[in-house]
Structure 1
């Protein structure tokens, strides 16, 4: 069995047991950035884009959802999906069906599950979910406004401080060159 990175397992748990698509994005993006040489890097980007699309869908940002879903389909190849323990045909069908729904009038958000082909991976995810008192393949909690609007409600002070430091370093480097 292929050894899955913990970040990917966490992604699947956030996806299926919390429907926290923002955290799906965060955890897998961090891994992807720290491991740019990973042969599945493009597939991780595709998975991130699926989560971002669902986050947008749930919030009613259909244009953003469509854009992310289209990009994800370009980044998710069947061989890579197989390596991630995902059933490629079923997953692509889910994504293309959702894309059609998004571009049709009267779209209503519904959760969907990533069809996992690796039963051992699914067992691991279910077990870890249970350890956290989470329900595998639960429904989105629309009453949880923090979950739905996380990008606007989270503490961004660390990110802002990092960006400011990076800006100052670039300015200092520029002055040195002059």
Structure 2
């Protein structure tokens, strides 16, 4: 009923709090089903994960900017949010509250998305348990590989792709 990638996103968002992985999962999905649409609901969820990643790392400006973009997308897609099993009004309230916390430079705390569809919630919890995560567990702020994942990952593929794109542009000139 729900895209597998969305369930995986929710499992990481609420299980191991690996927001970087949330971003990776949904970015690939978005590029496959709705490429180039910067107002896609999937972009909103990607930005939400990125905002949490930035906030946890105390990148206040990055968290604020990214969360504002996510909220704008979510506000324009109430029906889609509801179809995805989330309580729209509560989601917007929670995100505005989070934005206020960020603006006040309050420390990061793990958030829970307001899932109102019981079958989605059960599917996510079951998948979370199967992967060995604890649903609703708070972020381990001492886990550097989680908190600073973007700095520790292998960027070989990204750099190769960037070089390939540069070469193509150069040949087109």
Does the pair score TM above 0.5?
yes
What are the Cα deviations for residues 33-86 of structure 1, in whole angstroms up to 9, with x where unaligned?
11117x9x6111111111111001000011111111111111012111101111
The answer to whether the 8 Å contact 2:58/2:107 transfers is no
Aligned 1:60-71 pairs, distance under 5 A: 60-71=58-69
Task: Tell me which residue corresponds to 1:170.
Answer: 169
> Is the radius of gyration larger for structure 1 or structure 2?
1
The question of 1:102 aligning with 2:95 is answered no
Structure 1 unpaired stretches of 5+: none
Give the superposition deviation at 1:109.
1.2
What per-residue deviation string (whole Å, max 9, x for no partner) do you get for residues 9-47 of structure 1?
11101100010011111110111011117x9x6111111
- SS of residue in 2 equivalent to 1:127: helix
What is residue 88 of structure 1 aligned with on the other side? 88
- Does 2:7 align with 1:9? yes
Pair 1:148-2:147 in alignment: yes
* Alpha-carbon contact 2:9-2:22 (below 8 Å) kept: yes
Return the TM-score normalized by structure 2.
0.93
Runs of 5+ consecutive residues of structure 2 not aligned to the other structure: none
Structure 2: distance between partners of 1:173 and 1:83: 44
Q: TM-score, normalised by structure 1?
A: 0.90
| Counterpart for residue 135 of structure 2 | 136
Equivalent pairs, count: 170
Task: Give the CA RMSD over aligned residues.
Answer: 1.7
